[in-house]
Structure 1
Amino acid sequence: MTAALPGAEVTGARSLSADGDARFDSAVASLADGRELAIRVADDDDTARELAAEALALRALTDGARAMLPFRAPAYIGETRLGDARALVTELLPGFQIEAPLVPAGRGAAESMGSSIAAVHALPTSVVRGSGLATRSAEESRAELERLIDTAAATGRVPARLTVRWRDAVADDELWRFESTVILGGVQATSFLFEDDPERGPEVVGLVGWHGLSVGDPALDLSWLSAAPDAAADVHAAYARSVDRAPDSGLEVRARLLAELEFARWLVHGDSMRRPDIVDDAAALLDALAEGIRDDDLNVVDSRGVGVDSALDALDRVPQDTAAEIDTSMHTDAYNPEELWANAPDESDPAQTETAPHEALPGTATGRRADESAHRAEMLNIETEDLSGVASLFAGTSGVAGAREDSHPLAPREDTDDDADDSDEAQRAARAALQRWKSSSSE
């Protein structure tokens, strides 16, 4: 710890623990100056790569880049190896989180999320390019999806109407006339940290999950909205008001396409891993999606359909760590807040979502992309700092499966009724959740 933060005095530590397998071994260290640090240790090669990418991304966010954002990103503190495992130390950000289906429509959370995504997309691309992070043009994004569709179709488990639908969308030139921007590479609802404003409702004050930072299709950071039907229109509207570039008429359609293709990624992952159970699960989801779309088309004119929305309700069943050559999948970080801190009371026990390992799709980059990939790989293997002093924090601890260890807990889930789309009611509910979160976190 002292190598990463000279002069720091650790006054306490809290473990992050939950039932089930963990993606990270995790702990929170309290410093004498009042700060709290999140410490994550990778359990396998996949999580080690994720931590390396997170470290590179956070270091790419210079003071100038951070000043352009209307919210906070975790500060990079340091990294090292504890035995054979990679460890990353970052700032722990305060705030509460809202799961996608519970994001309310109207002013407050939805509008703040849209403008926050736009702020990330407005960062200069030099932030990414200068750090050796991945970049992808519109045509390269299009080509990757074409490979994914072909690979999924070759399994023989994709309904014909979906294959035609997706190929038609990829062939539609109107959808691919967009400007690549800085993206998070698949932001999720739980990537946003909120605080409550008495007048405006919940507002984004922090954003976590930067390991997919790159230059690419802005629709990637909006594809999660398929799981937030109430808030989607307001998030899109706030995003459109906030962006300072030419309108992207195909943005919503590509976001929907990317959401649907998560099922295809899951299928390809299961097929490549020779896992019949995963293949069968993905095929069942694809059948439901095919039934839901009926005559709905993916085009700029008609980008929304009730059948598609219903079919995509199952999207949260797909583990979010199946990935393409460059990580463009959606990542869901959901965990049980009552079990997060070791000294917190246990009030509920929601089921945990299985997280599948990363799996590369067929296709090899050449030319500039190959040079870029090699440069990025080299930067991900930079010498790390000596943080061996943090090893004692992990005695007897285990991380949370899928937990976002650089943030505070999710606000507790609560039931909603048929009138949940009322923005005033939604804001009152969000405030109530915030108050409960504050109470539980102070115990």
Structure 2
Amino acid sequence: MARSPLILAASATTALPGTVFTSARVLTENAGGRFDSAVARTDDDREVVVRMPAGDEGAHDLAAESRALHALTAGVRALLPFAVPEVLGESGSGAQRVLVVDRIDGYRIDPGQLPKGPGYAPAIGGALAAVHALPASIVRTDGLPVRTAEQVRDDVRRLLDRADATGRVSDDLMLRWRRALDVDDLWRFESAVILGGATSSSIVLADDADGIPHVVGVLDWAGLSVGDPAVDLRWLASAPAAADDVHEGYAAAGDRSPDPLLRERARLYAELEFARWLVHGHDAGQVDVVDDAVALLDALADGVRGDHIVPDTRSDIDDAMALVESVPPVSTPGRVDTSMQTDAYDPEALSLYLAVERDRAAAAEALAVAMDDRANPDAATGAIHVDQLPEPDGVDRDATAPVDLDGWGDDAPRAAAADAAGTPDQRDATTGTADTSEGASSHADPARDTVVDDEEDALRASRAALRRWGVSGDPA
């Protein structure tokens, strides 16, 4: 039977000796019934949160919560852009443990009710990125769990073996999970500090003066450890509408190396929660839990049939990323879109990008073939080869020195420029009198000189190319 708020307030006096509580009310925390919780008000008008475990599982989690909050020293908390509950007092142990922390004022949103778009979802993603950016030393120093990528993979393998041993998981699901387990790229990630079981309801939000939500606190630190960051994003399977925005906020706020398969691992962990629930019920001998887990697994199998956690087309994604990295930077005004450098790429936009790149490559290849195959011009492409051009008079094809083609002497660019500009009389008739005095030339427009230089350079380059073609010899 759950303890009443008054009993919890009375128990809190053992954790905070000398404190007088004037009122208490029930606190709903969506903790799955693991704790009995209440908000109590002291005689100095402070509000505190009092928790006691509801069973053995809750006792373990409450002890882990206390240990994690003690590990978050003042220096560590200064690295975070939000508040973390501070332990004010505690007493007892096991099922009689009492933990009192300060209350962070704000509101929380359940995953299923998290809306898409700017605001809530990006703010929550940014808060999780801030946790993952904490130095791993704070976890190692306090002896909290630390798991490498390979150890995380081994944990998943053991869970699959235990779930398979129950004989209650469909072959399709087991094949799906083991196939993901065998993809080496899926398990190449950088371990980070994680909450170990966060959801959107672990994030406390508040609105600023303009009504824009921001994160003011993060709760549920019992799973504090070093492990896979995707664990803290598995809950997004319950918030599909907001998943993209959470990932975008996470990528924008993070300073870690991009993790291209973060979403895929988060999805795998979400599905494995059903397998974990099955193993729990099987080991505990609880038939109702097993039946519930089997029903969930069957529904999952129907929903993902024919799908893979790591798509077979991932090689196309790799190719696109390589193409993006090979493109030289171009200075353009406005904000630069770096979404392709993150794991938050848009698959539809990516497929369009791949189609454009393939068309461009095909066109370049066709042009190259047309230029190289001079013996057999490609009539389909309409390419004009050098062999088809009229050969200038007096050109020795066996000569080894450059040959000056007719009309392309050193004076050709200047002659062409003079012809384009016309005679002084012609310029007078069209644009007014042309001043050719020294005084006028000293005030010439630098931009016009630059244009003329560019034209001469272009003509000179064209002349050199034609010279090379003219003495290239017979086709191989």
TM-score range, shorter chain: 0.5 to 0.7
Structure 2 partner of 1:406: none
Structure 2 partner of 1:15: 25
Query: Of residues 221, 228, 234 in structure 1, which corresponds to 2:232?
Result: 221
Offset at residue 202 of structure 1 (A):
2.0
When residues 253 and 83 of structure 1 are mapped into structure 2, their CA distance, relative to the original with a 3 A threshold, is: closer
CA distance in 2, matches of 1:140, 1:230: 32
When residues 17 and 115 of structure 1 are mapped into structure 2, their CA distance, relative to the original with a 3 A threshold, is: closer
Letter aligned with residue 35 of structure 1? R
CA distance in 2, matches of 1:72, 1:41: 22
Query: Of residues 156, 163, 175 in structure 2, which corresponds to 1:152?
Result: 163
Question: 2:16·2:90 contact (CA, 8 Å) conserved in 1?
Answer: no
Structure 1 partner of 2:367: none
* Counterparts of residues 39-438 of structure 1 (less than 5 Å): 39-81=50-92, 85-199=96-210, 201-299=212-310
Letter aligned with residue 69 of structure 1? L
CA distance in 2, matches of 1:73, 1:196: 18
Unaligned runs of 5+ in 2: 1-11, 315-476
Question: 1:166·1:257 contact (CA, 8 Å) conserved in 2?
Answer: yes
Larger % of helix: which? 2
CA distance in 2, matches of 1:198, 1:225: 29
Q: Does 1:36 align with 2:47?
A: yes
TM-score, scaled relative to structure 1:
0.64
Letter aligned with residue 111 of structure 1? P
Offset at residue 79 of structure 1 (A):
1.1
Offset at residue 17 of structure 1 (A):
7.0
TM-score, scaled relative to structure 2:
0.60
Number of residue pairs matched by the alignment:
300
SS in 1 for 2:189: coil
Letter aligned with residue 13 of structure 1? S
Q: Pick the structure with greater CA Rg.
A: 2
Q: Which has the higher contact order (CA 8 A, sep 6+)?
A: 1
Structure 2 partner of 1:27: 38
CA distance in 2, matches of 1:73, 1:194: 13
Question: 2:77·2:83 contact (CA, 8 Å) conserved in 1?
Answer: yes
Question: 2:134·2:193 contact (CA, 8 Å) conserved in 1?
Answer: yes
CA RMSD of aligned residues (A): 2.2
CA distance in 1, matches of 2:210, 2:122: 14
Question: 2:53·2:95 contact (CA, 8 Å) conserved in 1?
Answer: no
Identity rate, percent:
51
Letter aligned with residue 250 of structure 1? L
Unaligned runs of 5+ in 1: 304-443
Question: 1:23·1:47 contact (CA, 8 Å) conserved in 2?
Answer: yes
Offset at residue 51 of structure 1 (A):
1.1
Per-residue CA deviations over 1:181-240 (Å, capped at 9, x if unaligned) read 000001011101111134462221111111110000000000000000111001011111
When residues 35 and 125 of structure 1 are mapped into structure 2, their CA distance, relative to the original with a 3 A threshold, is: same
Question: 1:109·1:203 contact (CA, 8 Å) conserved in 2?
Answer: yes
Offset at residue 297 of structure 1 (A):
0.8
SS in 2 for 1:247: coil
CA distance in 1, matches of 2:281, 2:79: 41
Offset at residue 2 of structure 1 (A):
7.4
Offset at residue 169 of structure 1 (A):
0.6
Letter aligned with residue 24 of structure 2? R
When residues 17 and 89 of structure 1 are mapped into structure 2, their CA distance, relative to the original with a 3 A threshold, is: closer
* Comparing 293-302 and 118-127, the one that deviates more: 293-302
CA distance in 1, matches of 2:142, 2:258: 28
When residues 84 and 209 of structure 1 are mapped into structure 2, their CA distance, relative to the original with a 3 A threshold, is: closer
Letter aligned with residue 106 of structure 2? G
Letter aligned with residue 234 of structure 2? S
